[in-house]
Structure 1
Amino acid sequence: MSELQLTHLTYCGADRPPAQISFGPELTVIYGTSDTGKSFIVKSIEYMLGGADIALVPESEGYTQILLGLLMPDGSPLTLLRAPDSNSIFLYSADLRDYVTDMPHASVTAVHNARSRNSLSIHLLRELGLDGVLIRKNEAGGTRPLALADLLHMALVTENRMVGDVPPVLRTGAANTRTAELSVMRFLVTGEGDPAVESGPNAGQRRVHKGQVQLLDQLVLDLSSKLRTQENERQLRDRHIRIRTALDEQSAPLRQTNESHREAVDARMETARQLAALDERLTEVSDLLGRFKLLEAQYRSDLERLAMVNEAGSILGYFKVGACPFCGAEREHQQSNHRLEETTQLHTAVEAEAAKTSALLADLLPTISALDDEQTALMNRRVQEQSDIGVWDQIIEELEGGIASLRSDVEGLIEERSVVERELELQARIAELEDKKSRLVGEGAVATTRPTQHIPTATLSDFDSILQQTLNAWQVPAADHAEYDQYYAEIRAGGRKRIERGKGMRSVLHSAFTTSLARFCMDRDLHHLGFVVLDSPVVTYRDPEPNDIDDVELTSTVVDRFYKDMLSFPGQAIIIENGDPPTKVLSEAATYHFTGTTSGRAGFFPTYAH
């Protein structure tokens, strides 16, 4: 059966060295450090094969041409050239791997349009012999032409889809595309498209449903007028994931800054409490010093007065006539030594009082000195505490400025997330209304025969057998009784749906489904693109994530067995992983090791090394 093969992906710029990966005809493994452009390669392949857009990375600045090399089913080369943010794709019937200045052999649009024959989808499907295939689009049996995107999502799996909730068979998960997506799976495993069926409403239906259809149309128009973007559901979900990632990245520094602000405020409050206690003690010390110094002055004044009294008494003792200056006795009542005795007694009394006052002063002076020292220490500490408060005020002010900036960024992301969620809700409601309208239009459609809706049991059993063999070959634990449930479009293994498993198991089951489907088609000469591109297909360990589901732990054995099995894959396989592949793979497959450093190949773009 006709198949395609990828030969290279190249980014070119007029003044840039080419960024290029050459794909081997069998297994190619690109592994190494995160943020080196591995997943960007997968997204670029998807973009070159008709993807709506691509989120460019800073390292791609200056690169104006993206080249994707293909080998067509007849073995001839074809190079697709597309510029970033362009819907035009130029076709060259040659293997070009450098900056292109020649005129193209043809030009097509990246957007698939069934009414136009000038799209990449129709061009490649024509080369694959699939341009006349019809697939069923509604339950009434209405059909539409097969598109390249219908097949691509079954062969190329991005990291987000690898671990996402949407089953591998479904491209968008929207209700209005479910029938078509299931029909694509049926076409791949049976090789049979759907016959064209006239599914327009009959006259009776037009009368009965006209009002309902018009009402649904009006509701759809009303809801569509509220949409603020032209992005489809997949693009919105990708943007929602990017916003959530950015929120997680922004929330961490905001929480850290808030915590630093809280600690700074607590430290300032503690310093303020210490300063208040210092002020209180300083007031007490100052009050005591004032009182004690007054007392000291009083003691010294008393001693001076006592000294004066003692001196005056000695002088008065020399007077011989008149009344006694000490007791007031008249001369006739005085004895011969009266004045001498009185002088001695006064001196003794003064000396006793002076000694007592001196003792009190001696006790007071050390206390005053200690209080002076304490007051000086307290004042020095007060100056330091006030300086510390100033420092904390400055830190708090700076942190509050940082919080305001971070909070503004987070609030902007939250607002953007709300807009995206609102858009997704509107699109879901529009899809639901469109599905109801499709059912109304399709009910009682004029059709001589209804196409078969489900995959035959025997075919489904054969596919389930291949899926189980793949999981057994990889030695995946808790994955017995694997099957594709076509009624729920879901993969089951170990008695559980894929959506009920943890992210590690979801990625493994998605990888097993994609490779098993390719093997099934190639072994039976059924239609398939001929290659698979898997981003992070087997993950032995993931950091715990919020709301993740507990599941079995995947060991390194699964990784080794996965790569061993992929060495015998019948088509072309391109694997993107962080971990190192086994030594046997390094020797037998085309491998690229992105180191993220100046040693070896830093990443996809040469600028990674700078």
Structure 2
Amino acid sequence: MNGYLRLDALRFQGPAKRAEVVFRPGVNVICGASETGKSFLAEAIDFMVGGSELKEIPEREGYSSIELGMSCTDGTAWSFERATTGGDFILRRGEGSEKLRQSHAHERTDNLSGFLLEKIGLLGRRILKSSGKGTTNSLSFRNLARLVIVQEGEIQQKGSPFWGGQFTLKTAELATIKLLLTGIDDSAVVSTASDEPDNSSQIALLDELIADLVSDIADMGEERPELEDRLRLLDASAALYRDSVASAQRDLDEQLARRRELVARRHEIDERLDEIVEVDARFRLLGEHYAVDLERLKAIQESGTLFAFVQRVACPLCGAAPDAQHVDDDCDGNVAVIVEAATAEIAKIDKLQTELASTILDLAEERERLAQIWEGVEQAFQGVDGQIRQTIGPEVEGARSLFTDVVEARAVVRGSLDLYDRLAKLERRRSEIDGADAGPVEQSRVAVGLTDAVAHQFSMKLEQILRAWNFPGECRVYFDKDVSDFVIDGKPRGSRGQGLRAITHAAVSIALLEFCQEHELPHPGFLVLDSPLLAYFKPEGDEDSALQGTDLKERFYAYLKAHHGSESQIIIVENQHPPDRELDGLSVTVFTRNPAEGRYGLL
């Protein structure tokens, strides 16, 4: 009987930090709030059985190494320690320790892969690498790891649970499944490789690229003729909308030019009105000066005129006594001359005042006229501006938006047509390489995958599990060799919603474990399943939503408890808690994301 492995504990260690999760034989459930490290736990387990890199998360800060405690059904126990940054392992057994290399080496146990393979009876086995050339690879524990540690992204994938979608690895991955289900490896295969140039890697790469393009085209859901018709319509629409944009833009440009003219005219009037206000103020100040001068001159005129008719007294100008005055002689203060000059100046200022009043009146009339013109210009401006903002502007934006939508849609169609062009180019290239490789002698190929008998037996096992879980439908299952996946009740497993893909992927993984144990075949003996009940947490489509009204979740946990005890181990990572009535018999660890209640998270 082969030995089966068990995970006992996962410990994160640092200078000032330590975190541990303990696992039990049978069914373990890690559940709780999002963003608490549940999926990171599954990734860390994979890292500790040979994964190349551990994802960087903020919570990892402060931890320098990880230790994975394991045991085997033969009674032995050990632990692996590894730096969080990767590298080789330290194996600890009892008081002793030794180094285990990360890289696999055939039939050697000084590496992690060989050490674990020896424990489960698969050391030294070989698996087919190329069916055409009959070449083989040494089986590594990494070939098994993806079958027993199923991450959240993998469990819901549309592809087969047996291979990851890489054409270059498909042969080896299917050979690994055949080895587990039959116990027979490919050591007996004889290589048929020749000295001719090896184009298999190029063909494999081209097949992978072609498959990706075919998948993208299938997801797109449109044939090339339909896309070409759409492109012609979109080209015509783009030309029409381009003309609409140009016409609307011309109207907008005309109105913008008109608005600029009105703004300039309004500014010109504003400047002239400001000038009038300033000149008017200066003229009124000048008028005040004229008034003051007139008052002064009139005072001189009046006083000089009265001088001749008053009593003779001392001269007010020179102070001469009446007897000494010479009224008929010129002197520095001749009153008659001064009065005459004042009178002339008064006449001059009167004329200037008249002219100034006329000018001020003209300015007032001009200001009133300009104010009326300004009102007209302002009304015209508001009309043009309102038309731009409310009518022409939105029309231009609408036309541009429609044109942009059409251009973007056309770019999408062109991108879709480009997929067809690239596919045709890759297929031509593959045909050229195939033609170069074709020889006059037909070479035999090594059969890949499962025989009909084994595929049927395994399908019956999967059918039994699905019925026990009360999976919707009659649960008639058969294995489709062309896609290396299962058809359930006439519908391909990969074409269902992501929730049903997750639960059926989990069923395949559990069926593989149970099939191997029932037939005493090698298997690691444990399973880590991340989000198998995704349909209950994130349903996708009507099929997933329909599961929420069934008892599949209860039956799922009840089945696992009934069929997996001390000889096997299943670790379920889920957001939702198991049903209360199924808690008995489960080892449950809850991450609460609440510092005041229970365990916050993994780290």
> What TM-score do you get using the length of structure 1 for normalisation?
0.58
- Residue by residue over 1:235-283, the C-alpha shift from the partner in whole angstroms, topping out at 9 and shown as x without a partner, is xx9xxxxxxxxxxxxxxxxxxxxxxxxxxxxxxxxxxxx9x99999787
Superposed displacement of residue 156, structure 1: 0.9
**Superposition pairs of residues 538-549 of structure 1, within 5 angstroms:** 538-540=533-535
Change (3 A) 1:216 1:530: closer
**Superposition pairs of residues 147-186 of structure 1, within 5 angstroms:** 147-171=140-164, 173-186=165-178
**Superposition pairs of residues 434-449 of structure 1, within 5 angstroms:** 444=443
Counterpart position of 1:22: 22
* Whole-Å separation in 1 of the counterparts to 2:543 and 2:176: 32
* Whole-Å separation in 1 of the counterparts to 2:460 and 2:140: 28
**Superposition pairs of residues 52-71 of structure 1, within 5 angstroms:** 52-71=52-71
DSSP-derived class of the 1:153 partner: helix
Counterpart position of 1:523: 518
Matching residue's letter, 1:65: S
Please tell me the root mean square deviation across aligned C-alpha atoms, in Å. Answer: 4.9
Counterpart position of 2:486: 491
Change (3 A) 1:129 1:212: closer
Counterpart position of 1:37: 37
- Residue by residue over 1:310-333, the C-alpha shift from the partner in whole angstroms, topping out at 9 and shown as x without a partner, is 9999x99xx9xxxxxxxxxxxxxx
Counterpart position of 1:566: 560
Superposed displacement of residue 158, structure 1: 1.2
Change (3 A) 1:437 1:572: farther
**Would the aligned equivalents of 1:195 and 1:451 in 2 still touch at CA under 8 Å?**
no
**Would the aligned equivalents of 1:52 and 1:111 in 2 still touch at CA under 8 Å?**
no
Matching residue's letter, 1:581: P
The answer to whether residue 212 in structure 2 is matched with residue 212 in structure 1 is: no
- Residue by residue over 1:337-371, the C-alpha shift from the partner in whole angstroms, topping out at 9 and shown as x without a partner, is xxxxxxxxxxxxx9xx99xx99x99xx89x99xx9
Counterpart position of 1:596: 593
**Superposition pairs of residues 63-462 of structure 1, within 5 angstroms:** 63-94=63-94, 103-104=96-97, 106-114=98-106, 116-139=108-131, 141-171=134-164, 173-201=165-193, 206=194, 210-213=195-198, 285=270, 287-292=272-277, 294-295=279-280, 444=443, 453-462=448-457
Counterpart position of 2:459: 464
* Whole-Å separation in 1 of the counterparts to 2:36 and 2:69: 22
Matching residue's letter, 2:91: L
**Would the aligned equivalents of 1:3 and 1:529 in 2 still touch at CA under 8 Å?**
yes
**Would the aligned equivalents of 1:73 and 1:127 in 2 still touch at CA under 8 Å?**
no
- Residue by residue over 1:376-428, the C-alpha shift from the partner in whole angstroms, topping out at 9 and shown as x without a partner, is xxxxxxxxxxxxxxxxxxxxxxxxxxxxxxxxxxxxxxxxxxxxxxxxxxxxx
Superposed displacement of residue 453, structure 1: 4.6
* Whole-Å separation in 2 of the counterparts to 1:439 and 1:6: 50
DSSP-derived class of the 2:562 partner: coil
Counterpart position of 1:4: 5
* Whole-Å separation in 2 of the counterparts to 1:560 and 1:152: 28
Matching residue's letter, 1:127: K
Counterpart position of 2:576: 579
Change (3 A) 1:53 1:312: closer
Change (3 A) 1:118 1:586: same
- Residue by residue over 1:184-223, the C-alpha shift from the partner in whole angstroms, topping out at 9 and shown as x without a partner, is 212222333345133245xxxx5xxx3434x879x89xx9
**Superposition pairs of residues 499-538 of structure 1, within 5 angstroms:** 499-538=494-533
Could you list the runs of 5+ residues in structure 1 that have no partner in the other structure? 95-101, 224-232, 238-273, 320-349, 372-430, 606-610
- Alignment size in residue pairs: 432
* Whole-Å separation in 2 of the counterparts to 1:191 and 1:474: 28
* Whole-Å separation in 1 of the counterparts to 2:262 and 2:507: 71
Matching residue's letter, 1:565: Y
* Whole-Å separation in 2 of the counterparts to 1:435 and 1:529: 40
Change (3 A) 1:576 1:479: farther
Matching residue's letter, 1:4: L
* Whole-Å separation in 2 of the counterparts to 1:503 and 1:436: 40
DSSP-derived class of the 2:41 partner: helix
* Whole-Å separation in 2 of the counterparts to 1:5 and 1:142: 33
* Whole-Å separation in 1 of the counterparts to 2:177 and 2:482: 12
* Whole-Å separation in 2 of the counterparts to 1:306 and 1:118: 121
Change (3 A) 1:585 1:277: farther
Could you list the runs of 5+ residues in structure 2 that have no partner in the other structure? 213-258, 306-349, 372-429
DSSP-derived class of the 1:16 partner: coil
DSSP-derived class of the 1:178 partner: helix
Counterpart position of 1:552: 543
**Would the aligned equivalents of 1:157 and 1:535 in 2 still touch at CA under 8 Å?**
yes
Superposed displacement of residue 71, structure 1: 1.5
Superposed displacement of residue 115, structure 1: 5.9
Superposed displacement of residue 167, structure 1: 1.9
> What TM-score do you get using the length of structure 2 for normalisation?
0.59
Superposed displacement of residue 45, structure 1: 1.1
**Would the aligned equivalents of 2:106 and 2:124 in 1 still touch at CA under 8 Å?**
no
* Whole-Å separation in 1 of the counterparts to 2:18 and 2:151: 24
**Would the aligned equivalents of 1:10 and 1:19 in 2 still touch at CA under 8 Å?**
yes
* Whole-Å separation in 1 of the counterparts to 2:434 and 2:594: 52
**Would the aligned equivalents of 1:479 and 1:494 in 2 still touch at CA under 8 Å?**
yes
Superposed displacement of residue 93, structure 1: 2.4
- Residue by residue over 1:151-179, the C-alpha shift from the partner in whole angstroms, topping out at 9 and shown as x without a partner, is 222111012222334421015x3333322
Superposed displacement of residue 482, structure 1: 3.5
Matching residue's letter, 1:8: A
* Whole-Å separation in 2 of the counterparts to 1:289 and 1:465: 100
**Would the aligned equivalents of 2:4 and 2:119 in 1 still touch at CA under 8 Å?**
no
Superposed displacement of residue 586, structure 1: 3.9
**Would the aligned equivalents of 1:139 and 1:439 in 2 still touch at CA under 8 Å?**
no
Larger radius of gyration: 2
**Would the aligned equivalents of 2:499 and 2:538 in 1 still touch at CA under 8 Å?**
no
**Would the aligned equivalents of 1:121 and 1:148 in 2 still touch at CA under 8 Å?**
yes
Superposed displacement of residue 6, structure 1: 0.9
Change (3 A) 1:282 1:478: farther
Counterpart position of 2:230: none
* Whole-Å separation in 1 of the counterparts to 2:265 and 2:80: 83
